[in-house]
Structure formats: C-alpha cells, structure tokens
C-alpha cells in the first residue's frame, strides 16, 4: 500500500540519511525535467474547488523553489500562493507572526479554510501554524519534512542550529515542542526512502485521533516539489471535499509510482 498510518511501532535510533543518497541529490534535475515533460498530463489530474493553498519552501530556499508547483496548482483550479517571508533561514517569532498573518488574510479574503503545503522545514512550519489556527486550515501536506522531535534525522541539523540555536525563539516561548503530534485536521506526509537530507524515518507520522497518513514516493529530497508522483498524490489530496477525507489510494494506472511500503 502506498498510504500507511503508523502506530505502536518501536522508533529506530535517529540517524541522518546514508551519504550515498546525499551525494545522489543531483537527480532532482532529472525530476524537474520529468515535471515539465509530463506537464500536459499533469493538468488532467483532479481539479480543485478554488480554495486557497499556501506553499512554504524548505530550509535555505525561497518562493522560487515552489514556482512549478504553484503554477500547476493554479491550472488545476486552486488559488495558490507562495509565502511572504523571503528565504527560509531563521525560525523566530517574527516568522511565526508573518505566517499566521498570511494564513489569516487568505482565510478572511476567501471566507474558506486554507490548505498548507510545506517542503522540508516548510512542512514543519505548516504543521505548527495549523496547530495554532486549526479552524482556518483545511489540510496540511508535508514533503520530506523532519517532523520528529529529534533533529538527528537530518544532516542539516548543524547548519540549522548554527543559524537558529539549539532552541529557536518559538521553542523558548513554549511552541514547537512536540513536532511529532499532527495538527487536529487531515495531514499527509509524503516521503522517500532515498531522501538525501532527511532520513525517511523522521518524516513518518503516527496514527492519531485525526486523519493522518504517510505516502511513499520514488524521489530525491530536492526533487519532491517537482516530482510527478508527488503532484499526483498532492492533487488527489487537495481535491477531496472538505470534511470528506479518505486515505490515499492510487488508481491502477498510478500504482507503479508508489512503492509498497515496508516500515523497516
């Protein structure tokens, strides 16, 4: 199955990805090429209902990284937006306030709940913002995000801590203390076992009282935001009617894109 809830399993020791996958991250350029080669086919994916979608970039990245994704989402009928916060480097209260403000503005202007898509660190931020405003968020999709409380799952830990400290400002104020707990709304974590930045174990979310799932794809970390299989899963998740969530089930023609996941 491609979509799996995780419960009652022993957590493995947190380690970063194997070096071979980190060195192979250049394959993201191939994924970008496949995105544009399959662009016409991707526009035939399930259409949206026009609700707002907010896309958050990964660590050290900016809005330019989500341009392909947002372009496709607009063609599928969504009101897709980047974020208002420049390059994703500092995780502080000022960033948190900007993200909250943008979510509230999008919700107010549309009169509808907003879906959040976050790539890597952007997914961590998307989940935490949704926890603060669960009545304004409709769905959270994270892409290769380190949603574990243990930063040892990522080889970007030292750089992150050099720029933010071991306890970023929101943590010192009592926030971001339980990253493993999902927001109280539908959440999807899309991950790859060949991630060269975040070990896939660190992207798995546990089954909770609210709808949650994990979807494995064949991808690199840096290619998750343009990988065609990610677009297939993302479009399916976003197209669900509000309040009508069901786990992801790829069609017969799509099954080859999604591995039969084993959790070890």
Alpha carbon distance 137, 130 (integer Å): 6
pTM to 2 decimal places: 0.93
Structure confidence at residue 25 (pLDDT) = 97
Domain that holds residue 127: 3-7+14-257
**What are residue 6's phi and psi, to 5 degrees?**
-115, 130
* Domain assignment present for 264: no
DSSP state of 138: E
Query: How many domains would you assign to the chain?
Result: 1
Residue recorded with tokens 């993302």 = 234
Structure confidence at residue 84 (pLDDT) = 87
* Domain assignment present for 263: no
* Domain assignment present for 39: yes
Asked whether the beta carbons of 189 and 205 are under 8 A apart, the reply is: yes
The candidate with the shortest Cα–Cα distance to 158, out of 59, 21, 224, is 59
Where does residue 69 fall: left (phi above 0), alpha (psi -120 to 50 degrees), or beta otherwise? alpha
Structure confidence at residue 209 (pLDDT) = 76
* Domain assignment present for 262: no
3-state secondary structure 201-248: HHHCCECCCCCEEEEECCCCCCCCCCCHHHHHHHHHHHCCCCCCCCCC
DSSP state of 145: -
Alpha carbon distance 195, 167 (integer Å): 25
Alpha carbon distance 101, 90 (integer Å): 17
Residue recorded with tokens 């990964």 = 58
* Domain assignment present for 149: yes
CATH number at residue 22: 3.40.50.1820
* Domain assignment present for 26: yes
Structure confidence at residue 263 (pLDDT) = 54
Tokens of 72: 């496709």
Report the run of H or E that residue 68 belongs to, with start and end: helix 67-75
Structure confidence at residue 1 (pLDDT) = 45
Structure confidence at residue 7 (pLDDT) = 47
DSSP 69-125: HHHHHHHTT-EEE--SS-SS---SHHHHHHHHHHHHHHHHHHSS-EEEEEETHHHHH
Residue recorded with tokens 């104020």 = 173
DSSP 159-216: HHHHHH-SS-HHHHTT-SS-TTSPPSS-EEEEE-TT-SSB-GGGG--B--SS-EEEEE
How many CB atoms are located within 10 Å of the residue 179 CB? 19
pLDDT tens, N- to C-terminus, the chain (264 residues): 455 544 444 567 889 999 999 999 999 999 999 999 999 999 999 999 999 999 999 999 999 999 999 999 999 999 999 998 999 999 999 999 999 999 999 999 999 999 999 999 999 999 999 999 999 999 999 999 999 999 999 999 999 999 999 999 999 998 899 999 999 999 999 999 999 999 999 999 987 778 999 999 999 999 999 999 999 999 999 999 998 999 999 999 999 999 976 554
DSSP state of 135: T
How far is the first Cα of the chain from the last one, in angstroms, to the nearest whole number?
15
């Amino acid at each position: 199955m491609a979509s799996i809830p995780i419960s009652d399993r022993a957590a493995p020791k947190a380690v970063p990805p194997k070096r071979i996958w980190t060195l192979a991250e250049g394959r993201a350029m191939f994924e970008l090429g496949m995105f544009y080669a399959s662009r016409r086919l991707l526009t035939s994916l399930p259409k949206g209902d026009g609700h707002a979608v907010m896309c958050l970039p990964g660590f050290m990245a900016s809005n330019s990284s989500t341009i392909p994704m947002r372009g496709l989402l607009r063609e599928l009928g969504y009101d897709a937006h980047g974020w208002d916060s420049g390059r994703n480097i500092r995780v502080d209260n000022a960033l948190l306030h900007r993200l909250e403000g943008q979510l509230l503005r999008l919700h107010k202007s549309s009169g509808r709940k907003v879906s959040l898509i976050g790539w890597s660190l952007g997914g961590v931020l998307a989940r935490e913002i949704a926890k603060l405003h669960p009545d304004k968020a409709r769905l959270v999709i994270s892409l290769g995000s380190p949603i574990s409380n243990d930063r040892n799952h990522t080889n970007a830990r030292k750089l992150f801590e050099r720029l933010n400290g071991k306890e970023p400002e929101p943590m010192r104020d009592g926030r971001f203390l339980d990253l493993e707990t999902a927001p109280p709304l539908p959440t999807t974590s899309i991950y790859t076992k060949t991630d060269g930045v975040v070990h896939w174990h660190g992207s798995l979310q546990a089954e909770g009282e609210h709808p949650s799932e994990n979807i494995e794809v064949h991808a690199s970390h840096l290619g998750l935001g343009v990988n065609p299989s990610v677009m297939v899963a993302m479009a399916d998740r976003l197209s669900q009617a509000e309040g009508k969530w069901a786990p992801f089930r790829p069609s017969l023609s799509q099954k080859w894109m999604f591995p039969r996941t084993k959790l070890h």
